[in-house]
Amino acid sequence: MTAVDAPAEAAPDPDAITRDGFLGGRLVVAQARRGAHRAGLDAVLLAAALPDGTRGHVLDLGAGVGVAGMAAACRLAEVTVDLVEIDPDTAVLARDNVAANAGVLGGRVAVIEADVLAPAAVRAAAGLVPNGADHVVLNPPFHPADRARPSPAADRARAHSLPADDLERWMRAAVRLARPGGTVTIVFRADELPRLFAAIGPRLGSLSVLPVHARAGEAAIRVLVRGRPQGRAPLRLLPGFVLHEGDGGWRPEADAVLRGAALPVTWW
């Protein structure tokens, strides 16, 4: 093949990546327009579940492009955060986002490219030390693989759907990575709460459950579940957090969370 008939290198697609503002524009995040999971409200709620004054080391498991972990670092000046992501292309975007938002992150956020479900020794080699995190947050894939048609895009399918046994493996890994006395916080579909409880089993105690409602009087669409390894307090079902007014606008407390405030919740 000569230089004349060699195929031209494909030009980058300017529409493949979007740059989206979070926390009232304090974070600007690059993410794929199509294919992979796109970060949104769930990630912001997960970050907001860490109360004001939280300090120590935070692991964001299945971090995607890094919104939850970066949002936590924006508000909490005394935390360091590792964003853990398996997909190489998404991990590149997460690193780019950390660099692009360095001014508000203060060098306290890093990216670990690793498989949360890998054997413990493999995770440790990647930098995920057992009992090494003060706080673990995760937004695992929450569409049951046996009840939904998987996306033809492999990265999107992996980010959204989960084989039946894998949720328990996610929870097992999260608890093993948290230190005794630390916390584990999960955002999940409200209608799949029984499946989440089954996966948690006896691994977490002192569980608190925050239902999230689109509007008052409607069934919850999400839950935030927070617990402690070896916790012994009884389960607490908290008053629901409502996102929208009747006209569709954000309620003031939801708008505050979207701009970077903590959820107005007493977990324990």
What are the tens digits of pLDDT across the range 188-197?
Answer: 999 999 999 9
Say how far apart CA 246 and CA 17 lie, in whole Å: 33
CATH domain 39-258 topology: Rossmann fold (3.40.50)
- Put simply, whether the predicted model's pTM sits higher than 0.85 gets the answer yes
State the pLDDT at residue 10.
43
User: What does the pLDDT look like over 202-259, one tens digit per residue?
Assistant: 999 999 999 999 999 999 999 999 999 999 999 999 999 999 999 999 999 999 999 9
Number of H helices, E strands in the chain: 9, 13
Question: 206 with 268: CB under 8 angstroms?
Answer: yes
Tokens 């030390």 — which residue?
Answer: 129
**Among 94, 92, 90, 88, which residue's Cα sits nearest to residue 68?**
94
Say how far apart CA 162 and CA 184 lie, in whole Å: 19
Ranked by mean pLDDT, which of 10-14, 108-112, 141-145 comes out on top? 108-112
With helix as H, strand as E and coil as C, how does 66-131 read? Answer: CHHHHHHHHHCCCEEEEEEECCHHHHHHHHHHHHHCHHHHCCCEEEEECCCCCCHHHHHHHCCCCC
Tokens 């954000």 — which residue?
Answer: 250
State the pLDDT at residue 1.
37
User: What does the pLDDT look like over 26-84, one tens digit per residue?
Assistant: 999 999 988 667 899 999 999 999 999 999 999 999 999 999 999 999 999 999 999 99
